[in-house]
Chains A and B, each alone.
Chain A
């Protein structure tokens, strides 16, 4: 069973180290790729087609900084919990509690939104046959089946994610080759006629940054696998940076295809733009492929979100930031099974609100708060443990340029979010302030302070 038992010591159990770079890629890209199938196009409504492309690349730069910084810190702090564990070691308990909560909220809400998408897609199929399908049982089934898969083991979970994510990515490539004429020499793209100047000027471009996050939201989730990879120093940087390259390609191709087929006024309001582009091309094979791709992308995203949210909750519970009972590992499947089970009703509750845009906005804002944390976390990490003082699996280049760029772009995105969802932004800030007060007053006394710092590092510089 792989549990570590030695004479005279209590038998211990741990998560299973079975994952490789491919699984890390599947986790990161799997969570994100649904953003290419839907959601990114709202940036077109804000800033026009060119504004969306600028958002795609500017936010791509933000996430490249996130991936670089994350790869360095995670390959050094190789534990489940990802950024939560990093915050605990580098900043302190209150920051760690908040970051852990950002992660749980961001992934559970994204999971709920993905499940809602699956339900809505099936409802749309039924509507084509004249039936009025209730999407709720399919929302619950999506969450229940993926939770069951996660419960039974991380290797199978992320192997399934690899297969369905690869299909969804290949579907985008196939659509691109067909639309651009590389297959039959006849391009159906009409960029010359459809692309117009910035309809709302540069303020529109700035506003589109918020929805530009859909192209990449969740890639930082790769570091939740740190405790279950065979080699964190190799797998996390390879999986994360490889995932980021995949997403940059997928995002650029998606923009190129959709803006060449659908006028920006319609594209900005479409629910499933890639699927709509396939339908407009008049090919049944492409239509079916992109429908399956949309479905698979939503399922892969929900699957990865369950994995990540449960690891974050498990790590917080293991440190008693949350009730310790949730920190249990299944003796056979070696998964955080109580955390997986606990988050099922939470995700179903979010999904049953039906407020897809609000759920997604809260998810994006929680993610954005996490990225802001990363920008100063890496500065403190390098200051307290300079290069050479501890063994790092990966050292990101050009420090401190990536963290400065990340901080500036996060600030711009906060402003963009304030323009469109000011009330949501202020509400979520108020929520995190209130739970921080609860943590300090009520929860922190339960935390065993001496057991929190687990890394075999020397005393930090200056202490």
Chain B
């Protein structure tokens, strides 16, 4: 495997890690906090 192929695989891998991290974190947040709290932001609130 040459340098450029390794770079392509590395980019795919890093993308999967980053997106996976966000999905896992989002799932964790949804299970830890109630929906009422997560959706409690109101326009104009300080």
Which A residues lie at the B interface, using CB under 8 A?
A: 4, 10-15, 79-81, 85, 126, 129, 131, 133-134, 137-138, 140-141, 144-145, 147-148, 151, 227, 315, 318-319, 324-325, 327-332, 337-338, 340-341, 344, 454-456
Contacts and interface: CB of A to CB of B under 8 A. Distances in A.
A340 B19 CA distance: 11
21 contacts: A4-B46, A10-B40, A12-B41, A80-B43, A133-B4, A141-B12, A144-B19, A145-B18, A148-B19, A148-B21, A318-B39, A324-B39, A328-B41, A331-B38, A332-B29, A337-B22, A340-B22, A341-B22, A454-B42, A454-B44, A456-B44
B38 to A, nearest CB: 4
Closest 10 CB pairs of A and B: A137-B11, A454-B44, A328-B38, A131-B4, A144-B15, A12-B40, A141-B11, A454-B43, A144-B18, A140-B15
Contact of A455 (B41, B44, B45): B44
B19 A344 contact: yes
Contact of A137 (B12, B18, B37): B12
B8 A331 contact: no
Contacts, number: 105
Contacts of B3: 131
Interface in B1-46: 2-4, 7-9, 11-12, 14-15, 18-19, 21-23, 25-26, 29, 33, 35-46
Contacts of A85: 43
Interface of B: 2-4, 7-9, 11-12, 14-15, 18-19, 21-23, 25-26, 29, 33, 35-46
A80 B38 CA distance: 17
Given A12-B40, A138-B11, A337 B26 contact: yes
A155 to B, nearest CB: 18
B40 to A, nearest CB: 4
Contacts of B19: 144, 147-148, 344
A137 B4 CA distance: 12
A131 B42 contact: no
B11 A10 contact: no
A338 B26 contact: yes
B15 A14 contact: no
B43 A315 contact: yes
A147 B4 contact: no
B44 to A, nearest CB: 4
Contact of A318 (B2, B41, B46): B41
Contacts of B43: 79-81, 85, 227, 315, 318-319, 454
Contacts of A329: 38, 40-41
Contacts of A12: 37, 40-42, 45
A15 B41 contact: yes
A141 B38 contact: no
A126 B41 contact: no
A154 to B, nearest CB: 14
B1 to A, nearest CB: 12
B8 A13 contact: no
B45 A14 contact: yes
Contacts of B46: 4, 14
B34 to A, nearest CB: 10
A456 B36 CA distance: 24
Nearest to A331: B33
A456 B43 CA distance: 11
